[in-house]
């Protein structure tokens, strides 16, 4: 599966996702500037991304823990903001478009 | 920064960071009779363990099949208690200089000054600092003075009396300060990106009561722009969920989005850095600068894994090397806690 990622400078590139990995892990390992301070524990909101072009609705809805944690994220956009550590790669989201949110 | 410089404190080793690795360093150095001072920007020990995931279980600490970040910190504090380390909380290490006698002098943002033979940097990914909202020019309104401009913490409530206060956020800090500042504000407005809060339920209820009474205004909105002269905030542009924008009068803006980690002044210490990490020799965990060690997440070496257990190992080897710097003329006697009555005496178990 593919992830179309855009960094904070506006550069877009396609990276290969891995079934079962989080989108955060894929983007971080691909060199995107994602702090992911808590290492994927849904505890810091530093892997905040905007999910775009209709992909937000195709994801499983955020858990209560993620909704809570998004309260600590900056520049949250309704129906777009997600924590990328909570989005799991699968063929169902092949081609998902995400933009790294501002720090 | 305090204007009068008090007499510097003197110790064997100064440790930057009171997370799990900084704490275990106290233990390993203590077994070798080395005294420590620790500095941490947070108000309590534990670092990321207590700041980010106090209640989340950790499963990979040898011998502890399950332990939370808070529990691990509490156990480490118990373990280092016999060694009487001095903790300096709520302080950020801001400068490190080498003295003519070969020792190091470290100063903090509150003016504390500590002279030590060796420095151990156990700072994780850096300092926890408040998240700054991505509003253009916000930095020009910071440090404007008491009760005006942008503040990320409330130190003296009285400085906000009679002000038009704007608070942003949905966590406990945002709600607590909304409740506490409403009685003395001229006006108080809370904005958050949704009509729901992660804060404690009783705080949310209290805020809703104040809203009903007309003492607090709440909007689902975010701050898009700040207006006024640098140093004197006059108002902000708010944007609602439907993207509509309006002007809002405010003297002071208090964003509460929790903390994030920035490397901070360590970058200015003159220590060799590689991608914000300190390269170390894995025999001693010494940096390229003699007398300065780096352990835990802040260091890098071939095969490095950012695990708490790796940091514990690094602390033990660092202590052996630090001993030779602090006590160059003494022979280090390697002993086990299980068999050495000398070590057991230090631990207070015999």
Query: Chains A and B: how many Cβ contacts under 8 Å?
Result: 62
A80 touching B (Cβ < 8 Å): no
Name every chain A residue with its beta carbon within 8 A of the beta carbon of B192.
71
Model confidence at B2: pLDDT above 60: no
The enclosing H or E element of B342 equals helix B341-347
Q: Which residue's structure tokens are 């108000």?
A: B43
Model confidence at B4: pLDDT above 90: no
What pLDDT does B247 receive? Answer: 97
Give pLDDT tens digits for B87-126: 999 999 999 999 999 999 999 999 999 999 999 999 999 9
The enclosing H or E element of B346 equals helix B341-347
Q: Do the strands B299-300 and B278-279 form a parallel or antiparallel pair, or are they unpaired?
A: parallel
Name every chain A residue with its beta carbon within 8 A of the beta carbon of B48.
37-38
Give pLDDT tens digits for B7-23: 899 999 999 999 999 99
Give pLDDT tens digits for B236-266: 999 998 889 999 999 999 999 999 999 999 9
For residue B98, CA distances in Å to B104, B116, B292 come to: 5, 10, 10
Residues A1-23: what's their mean pLDDT? 96
Angstroms from A36 CA to nearest CA on chain B: 10
What pLDDT does A103 receive? Answer: 84
Q: Whole-angstrom Cα distance, residue B150 to residue B132?
A: 10
What is the DSSP-derived secondary structure letter of residue B264? Answer: G
Residues B266-290: what's their mean pLDDT? 95
What pLDDT does B5 receive? Answer: 63
Q: State the average pLDDT for chain B.
A: 94
B contact set with A (CB within 8 A): 48, 52-53, 56, 125, 131-134, 169-171, 192-194, 196-198, 222, 241, 257-258, 260-261
Tokens representing A51 are 């999910």
Q: Whole-angstrom Cα distance, residue A101 to residue B261?
A: 16
Tokens representing A22 are 């989080």
User: Burial letters for B239-274: b for 16+ Cβ neighbours within 10 Å, e otherwise?
Assistant: beeeeeeeebebbbbbbbbbbbbbbbbbeebebebe
> Which are the contacts of B158, defined by CB distance < 8 A and separation ≥ 6?
B184
Angstroms from B170 CA to nearest CA on chain A: 5
Give pLDDT tens digits for B35-54: 999 999 999 999 999 998 89
Q: B100, B12, B15, B101: which is closest to B324 by C-alpha?
A: B12
A66 touching B (Cβ < 8 Å): no
Total count of residues recorded for chain B: 350
């Amino acid at each position: 599966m593919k992830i179309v990622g855009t960094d904070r400078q506006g550069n877009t590139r396609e990276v290969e996702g891995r079934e079962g990995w989080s989108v955060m892990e894929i983007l971080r390992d691909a060199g995107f500037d994602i702090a992911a301070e808590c290492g994927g524990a849904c505890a810091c909101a530093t892997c905040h991304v905007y999910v775009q072009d209709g992909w937000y609705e195709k994801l499983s809805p955020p858990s209560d823990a993620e909704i809570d944690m998004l309260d600590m994220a900056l520049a949250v956009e309704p129906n777009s903001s997600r924590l990328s550590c909570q989005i799991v790669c699968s063929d169902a989201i092949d081609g998902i478009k995400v933009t790294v949110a501002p720090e | 920064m305090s204007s009068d410089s008090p007499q510097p404190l003197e110790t064997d080793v100064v440790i930057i960071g009171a997370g799990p690795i900084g704490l275990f360093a106290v233990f390993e150095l203590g077994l070798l009779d080395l005294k420590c001072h620790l500095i941490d920007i947070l108000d309590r020990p534990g670092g990321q363990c207590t700041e980010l995931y106090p209640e989340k279980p950790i499963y990979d600490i040898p011998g502890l099949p399950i332990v939370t970040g808070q529990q691990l910190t509490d156990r480490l504090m118990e373990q280092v208690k016999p060694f009487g380390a001095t903790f300096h909380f709520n302080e950020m290490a801001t400068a490190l200089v080498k003295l003519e006698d070969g020792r190091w002098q470290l100063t903090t943002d509150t003016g504390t000054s500590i002279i030590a033979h060796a420095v151990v940097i156990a700072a994780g990914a850096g300092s926890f600092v408040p998240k700054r909202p991505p509003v253009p020019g916000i930095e020009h309104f910071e440090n404007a003075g008491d009760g005006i401009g942008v503040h990320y913490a409330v130190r003296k409530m009285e400085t906000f009396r009679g002000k038009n206060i704007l608070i942003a956020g949905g966590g406990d800090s945002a709600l607590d300060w909304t409740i506490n500042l409403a009685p003395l504000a001229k006006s108080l407005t809370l904005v958050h990106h949704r009509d729901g809060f992660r804060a404690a339920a009783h705080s949310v209820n209290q805020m809703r009561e104040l809203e009903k009474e007309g003492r607090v205004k709440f909007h689902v909105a975010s701050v898009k722009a700040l207006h006024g002269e640098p140093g004197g905030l006059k108002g902000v542009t708010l944007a609602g969920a439907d993207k509509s924008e309006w002007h809002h009068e405010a003297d002071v803006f208090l964003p509460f989005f929790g903390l994030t980690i920035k490397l901070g002044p360590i970058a200015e210490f003159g220590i060799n850095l590689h991608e914000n990490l300190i390269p170390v020799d894995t025999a001693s965990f010494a940096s390229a600068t003699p007398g300065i060690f780096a352990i835990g997440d802040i260091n890098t070496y071939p095969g490095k894994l950012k695990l708490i257990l790796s940091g514990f190992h690094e602390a033990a080897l660092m202590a052996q090397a630090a001993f030779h710097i602090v006590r160059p003329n003494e022979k280090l006697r390697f002993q086990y806690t299980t068999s050495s009555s000398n070590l057991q005496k230090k631990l207070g178990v015999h």
